[in-house]
Structure 1
Amino acid sequence: MLFTRGLTSLLAASLLLGGAASRAQSPQGQPPQAPLPQADEALLARQALAWRNQANLGDWQRIGVYCDFVDDEPGSLARMICDAAIVQTRRAAEAARVELYLAQSPEAFGMTSTAGLPYLVARIATTGPRRSAGAFHVSLRAVIAYRGTVTMLAGRERVERERRGDLLLWEATMTGSAADRVPARELETAVRQLVDGFFAARGATR
């Protein structure tokens, strides 16, 4: 069984790239500034990302959870992953004293998210309907409905238009593959790490 995980960190990447660019450019006729130690840059990026996550997610005291996948047959790999995500989110939410709402249909998800309920959405893709599927990908996303005004060009004039959508505030991913039957215990452990990553990001103490 092979798992790989990733965490969206656009802020960290921009900090690192911005720091590199600022050092590469120096006033003409002056020696370039000494580069900062890479460890300090990484620490700065982690601290900034932690602050941003807690600011965005720390006040979520009621959270919805929803699984987005196609194959809903009993015993399917996608259903196994979804069930594990629900169980682990319930565990972590109870420990963090966060109220949890389970959306059991796209309609329930749409209505409650539009009303302003923040969500953990598990988007699951698999290669087949059975537990013997060879590969899968899971994206766990923290989203909240957003409505705002954007400025657009209409001919030669700038006009304001209202736009609505889901604001992505945090994301972690997991990809796995197995030659034979997917071990349920390993799968649950991997999903637990994704869920715990979210609750750690919001600053909850478990």
Structure 2
Amino acid sequence: MRVLGIDPGLTRCGVGVVEGDVGRPLRLVDVNVIRTSAGVPVATRLVTIEAGIAEWLEEYRPDAVAVERVFARSDVSTVMGTAQASGLALVAAAKRGLPVALHTPSEVKAAVSGNGRADKTQVGLMVARILRLPAPPSPADAADAVALAITHIWRGGAQSRLAAAAEAAQSSRAGDARVAAARKAGRR
């Protein structure tokens, strides 16, 4: 499974692609940050972010996209910029028919470090350890994007397999019911 993790932000939007499966070593494909300048109009900054995300989707062709779920902070302008960048990521993935998962910051921290309250340094160090990198991806937004991709592979991949198994079981039960009904109708 190949996952594009996106840590949305208006100034720095982290993007990272990780490849692998649950129970197997993961591999970092690429990581970077899409940057915009605070001196540029917001609409222009959003166009830059959307174009950057589209480039990553086209170049790396992920199987899924994992985006950090926006949560309320004290600074409304930060929340707004993050939400706008997050919306762009969701739309870009949806346009390409890719499944999208939202993961909370504490879920990501717990997945990669075992501690839902881990700080950015701890998350970066664990990302480096998990992927066998000499150093954490930098800046922290890049490491966070990679952590999102890791989380999705470990948690989202397992969740999608469970959902597929449940759907198959339900389909099998429906088929069994049709066969039983056909048998019963044949006896009349």
Mark yes or no: TM-score above 0.5. no
Q: TM-score, normalised by structure 1?
A: 0.28
Q: Which has the higher strand share?
A: 1
Specify which structure has the higher proportion of helix: 2
